[in-house]
Structure 1
Amino acid sequence: MTRPYVLDVSAFQPNATYYDFWQKWKARGVRGAIVKLTESTNWRNTYGAGQIAAAKHEGMQVSGYHFSRFRGNTSLAVAEANYAIATANSMGLPHGSVLVLDYEEKLGYRSSNTQAAIAFLNTVKNASFTPVFYSYSGMANLWDFEEIHRQTGAMLWIAAYPTMAGVTYPNYNYFPGISNYIGAWQFSDNFYGEHIDASVDLTGVFTQMTQEKITSGGHLDSVSFDGNGMKVSGWFASDKAQGKQYSYIILTTKEGKELTRLNVVTHNRPDVAKTFPDIPGGGKSGFEAVFPYTSEMVGKKLHVIFRYTDDVSGNGNYTDYTSIIDLTKSAANLDSINTVVYKNKLRVSGWFATDYSLDNAYPFLILYDVDKKQEVQRIQASQGKRPDVQKAYPDIYGAIDSGFTGEFDYGANLVGRKLQVIARWSDDEQHGEGNRTDYWFDPFNGPAMPVIDGKTETEVLVHSFNAEEVKNGLISLKFK
């Protein structure tokens, strides 16, 4: 009998976000995808959500994995597990799916490594994911898998490569039978000579899991800013919420330090009840709250926890859904660069929105000489309202006030030079130094100054124009 194959992919396979990637491997017998989600508590696969969606679209059973860095540290193992769980939720990995602990650090002691792995896998299990332990057969002296399995129920996904050359099928003469609980064997990192990891699924853990009823689920729908603060909304429902009459939204750092919490009243979500009919309470599972945006949050990736509890203070017996709020975002656009002849100025306008502008509240513009690698001039920018930016980027702080305009001194010595505009938010009102956040726009060649000699005529086709006298008989023309 030919057993199904499974591919594991990471940020090294960005093309795994395309349907045809999985179509090709499906034709070769691949039936499952294991997507790298996280590493330690500070790295996420930026392609992960797309890879999960593409694999699911092509009928693959999808799992996730976390590359660990906790060694034998149990408390860090729990923190990494929560980071992986939050990321799995945010990337659309369904509850009940496999979430793998990838343990590859050849360090530490067998007993502490084993206990840390157990803590990670049980945290995953308690969050309604299926725990699996992955490592290399040559590392078996660094952990006790029989004890790991006894305490967590996790299966073993073992790696052992008979050859580093390209292969198209596993050589079972080299199967590493080091446990009775091996669910899958990663037999190559060069499947079909394409330098991609391949495993054979021996038990169906990655390709044929029985689909159980979904009785718990949630989603962080949106994070948005307005004049009132940071609005968080989503939903969470669970069979474990019965008898827990209080609802909270809690914000913590990724390390688990609580920043704030609010008691909320859940609201109706008929869409959830329709989509997940087996989850009790789905019809009234909506969570929503507005939090002050504080300096303690700026530049961090926070955990947002939707909680049901039997304790009026939000502690006691509880069940949680955890996702991630990214407060490190920036976006910008340089809308126009124009020369102003009668002033010998270079006028620039655009917008720069960033979550960091809460603390760095003063806007500056810098003109930079790319070839000389030096600043030409720095000016304070004029701010402007940009409701279009706020509509496009509601999840970035200060988007409504992100507009800027400014005029640099501009002479013949800059014409044709390779220049760059830098938009800056700084906490230094006078000089634009101190703590700051920059956005470097694409370089451009300094535009030529139009010739105004009182004799030369220039014809320009425009859609509309506006003319006004500025000084000494000169007329300012603005046209589109």
Structure 2
Amino acid sequence: MANRLEFLDVSGYQPNAQNRAFWDEAKQLGVAGAIIKITEGTWYRNPYGWNQISAAKLAGMKVAAYHFAKFVGNSYQAVNEANYAIATANSMGLPHGSIIVLDYEERAGIRAYNTQACIAFCKAIKAAGFMPAFYSYSGMANLWDYEAIRQATGAKFWVAAYPRLGPAYSPDYGSFPSISAYIDGWQYTDNWRGWGVDGSVDLTGVFTTTEKVTSGGHLDDCHFEDGKLVVGGWFASDKANGKGNHYIILTDDQGHEFARQSVALSPRPDVAKAFPDIPGAGQSGFAAKFDYTAAMAGKKLRVYFRYTDDPAGNGNATDYVSLADLSKSAAYLDSMSVSFGKQLHVAGWFASDMSIGKPNCFAILFDAAANRELQRVKVAPVARPDVAKAQPGIYGSGHSGFNAAFDYDASLVGHKLQIIARYSDEEHGEGKYVDYWFDPFQGPSMPVLDGKMEQTFVAHDISLSRQQDGTLLVNAK
């Protein structure tokens, strides 16, 4: 087993791996592969991931990615995490067909359920056109069944076992973790050559041997234009020969189809330059505009770029699959002020993919301390071309502005208040709705006049007289 190629895995803890020099030096020391952490759960993306992948590719490394799992034995959550990892891998430029590793380190759950959840994750990775791999510690084998995972998904196996502490310069094969006949990679140290990074040896070539790329794709664009959903990207494959019909198909993550369009391919000289070995790369552009529906809102759509021999878009097909997140919302409170007319004025914007089919817009003043609504006003949407430019990927961003005025008096000064922006399908603001809760604030002071607070009072009689200095004297009874 001597003289095998090695590979390193890095994460947000290694920002220096964004530099090509890091990988060039590693390459001189026998490293030929890089595995980059891209995601964790459904909430974390490695902020350095894109640069780390790019730097490793430039240095000639075979590049893979890994996802740190949090789903334990929940298969539904496992699929959600897989979809999150797939979308992130595509956005970070991981080559189509690369390995995405399931990093399973949760010391919890029941072995059978954990195994089924891992199988669900790996199947989703495989369905999206990537190669699944499974990673864990050898001492955790009682919490998962790799043989079952491999048989169900074909996942490669990367195992961690550290025979000694401190820097390691080569694997000690006398301490090899022989827990399976199908081990592809062994992570033998967490301090490779004193670099403070994990080091592994490639036993089968799967993590370090670069093969000629003959298929690839990417979802470059997903935005809204005049209420329509626009998607675009590229897909080229050596398996597209004889499949002269080209389609873009939208489904949910369960395969329910929303829409499909036959499209004409467009020139992509950039793809041909980047992937000279993929047949048809220079004419591989896909683009279409779809009606956006309420059924799509809140979903993570699967976007299929398809070559097929069937004019209807079925038949013998070759697909590239990516994800489009249609559950996005964004908002900002631009201004807030109190007028002499005892009103609290607020202005801002709120855009949401889930606002489709909800034409009624509201601003709500909420007492955050007492947890109750104080006032609700219906507002007319205001054109916001600046928001449309900044947030083209969110539905309705071009008409997301609002202005509202609430009754306001001294009793609310200093109270913990909150503004809620709402889209609703019901004219009074109930029914089906989507909200954005702005950060709580302390009720602002009332405005002042000549350094004194504005006062309101009731009088039966009032008279005015001008003083010698020009001021007015008010007498009230």
Q: TM-score, length-normalised on structure 1?
A: 0.76
The C-alpha deviation readout for 1:373-396, integer Å capped at 9, x for no partner, is 433322112321111111111111
Letter in structure 2 aligned against 1:415: V
Structure 1, 249-258 or 119-128: larger mean CA deviation: 119-128
Distance 1:313 1:37, change over 3 A: farther
1:243-254 matched pairs, under 5 angstroms: 243-254=242-253
Residues 421 and 45 of structure 1: CA distance in aligned 2, closer, same or farther (over 3 Å):
closer
- Mapped contact 1:362–1:429 kept (Cα < 8 A): yes
Matches of 1:249 and 1:405, distance apart in 2: 40
Partner of 1:429: 427
Question: Which whole-Å CA distance do the structure 2 matches of 1:335 and 1:273 have between them?
Answer: 45
Give, in angstroms, the shift of residue 76 of structure 1. 11
Counterpart for residue 209 of structure 1: 209
The corresponding residue for 1:441 is 438
Residues 379/80 of structure 1: CA separation in 2 closer, same or farther (3 Å cut): closer
The alpha-carbon distance between structure 1 residues 448 and 309, as it changes in their structure 2 partners (threshold 3 A), is same
- CA RMSD, 1 decimal: 4.3
1:365 alignment counterpart? 363
1:298 maps to 297
- Map of 1:85-124 to 2, 5 A cutoff? 85=86, 87-102=88-103, 106-108=110-112
CA contact (8 A) 1:63 1:206 kept: no
Q: Distance in 2 between matches of 1:451 and 1:109?
A: 65
User: Secondary structure at 2:386's aligned position in 1?
Assistant: helix
CA distance in 2, matches of 1:448, 1:139: 60
- 1:81-230 to structure 2, matched below 5 A, reads 85=86, 87-102=88-103, 106-108=110-112, 129-137=130-138, 143=145, 145=147, 148=150, 152=154, 155-161=156-162, 167-169=166-168, 172-187=173-188, 198-203=198-203, 205=205, 208-210=208-210, 212-227=211-226, 229-230=228-229
Matches within 5 A, 1:456-471: none
- One-letter identity of the residue aligned with 2:318: T
Alpha carbons of structure 1 residues 374 and 18: separation in structure 2 relative to 1, 3 Å: farther
Contact map agreement 1:223 1:325 (CA 8 A) in 2: yes
Aligned to 1:384: 382
Asked if structure 2 preserves the Cα contact closer than 8 Å seen for 1:86 and 1:322, the reply is no
Conserved in 2, the CA contact under 8 Å of 1:188 and 1:198? yes
| Per-residue Cα deviation, 1:155-187 (whole angstroms, up to 9, x for no partner) | 431233557xx6433665432123454332234
SS in 1 for 2:431: coil
Deviation, 1:319, is 0.5
CA distance in 2, matches of 1:25, 1:283: 30
Report the CA distance shift for 1:139/1:435 in structure 2 as closer, same or farther (over 3 A).
Answer: same
Cα pair 1:336 1:349 within 8 Å, conserved = yes
- 8 Å contact kept, 1:332–1:353: yes
Counterpart position of 2:464: none
- 2:348 aligns with 350
CA change 1:199–1:106 in 2 (3 A) is farther
Aligned residue number for residue 407 of structure 1: 405
Q: For the Cα contact (< 8 Å) 1:4–1:31, is it kept in 2?
A: yes
Look up the match of 1:236: 235
Matched residue type, 1:203 = L
Give the 3 Å change call, closer, same or farther, for CA 90–68 of structure 1 in structure 2: same
What is the rounded CA distance, in whole Å, between the counterparts of 1:106 and 1:94 in structure 2? Answer: 34
Structure 1, unaligned stretches of length 5 or more? 457-480
- Give the secondary structure class of the aligned counterpart of 1:240: coil
Residues 79, 254 of structure 1: 8 Å contact kept: no
Change (3 A) 1:280 1:72: same
After superposition, give the CA deviation of every residue in 1:399-421 in whole Å (9 maximum; x if it has no partner).
11100000011112223333322
Identical-residue share of aligned pairs (%): 49
1:425 & 1:150 partners in 2: Cα distance? 45
**Structure 1 residue 23: deviation in Å?**
7.8
3-state DSSP of counterpart to 1:413 = helix
Q: What stretches of structure 2 of length at least 5 have no aligned partner? A: 454-477
1:53 match: 51
Inter-CA distance 243–77: structure 2 relative to 1 (3 Å threshold) = farther
What's the TM-score, normalizing by structure 2?
A: 0.76
1:266/1:176 CA distance change after superposition, 3 Å: same
Aligned position for 2:321: 322
3-state SS of paired residue (1:400): helix
Distance 1:123 1:47 in 2: 19
| C-alpha spacing 1:256/1:102, structure 2 compared with 1 (3 Å) | farther
Distance in 1, matches of 2:200 and 2:231, equals 42
Report Cα offsets for 1:235-261 as digits up to 9, x if no partner.
Answer: 111111111010111111112222221
Query: Partners in 1 of 2:5 and 2:308 — Cα distance?
Result: 45
- Which residue matches 1:312? 311
Q: Give me the whole-angstrom Cα distance separating, in 2, the residues matched to 1:82 and 1:335.
A: 34
Question: Pick from 447, 450, 458: which aligns with 1:450?
Answer: 447
> CA 1:131/1:415 → structure 2, altered by over 3 Å: closer, same or farther?
closer
1:80 deviation in Å? 8.4
Matched pairs, number:
438
CA distance in 1, matches of 2:44, 2:259: 28
Q: 1:83 to 1:317 in 2, by over 3 A?
A: farther
Letter paired with 1:344 = K
Would you say 1:7 and 2:13 are equivalent positions? no
The residue identity in structure 2 corresponding to 1:435 is K
Structure with bigger gyration radius: 2
Which residue identity lines up with residue 64 of structure 2 in the other structure?
S
Q: Secondary structure at the match of 1:434?
A: coil
Give SS of 2:417's match: strand
- Tell me the distance in 1 between the aligned counterparts of 2:78 and 2:446: 62
- Whole-Å Cα distance in 2 between the matches of residues 235 and 146 of structure 1? 35
The 1-side partners of 2:80 and 2:346 are apart by 46
| CA distance 1:372–1:344, shift in 2 (3 Å) | same
Q: Is the 8 A contact 1:146 1:179 kept in 2?
A: no
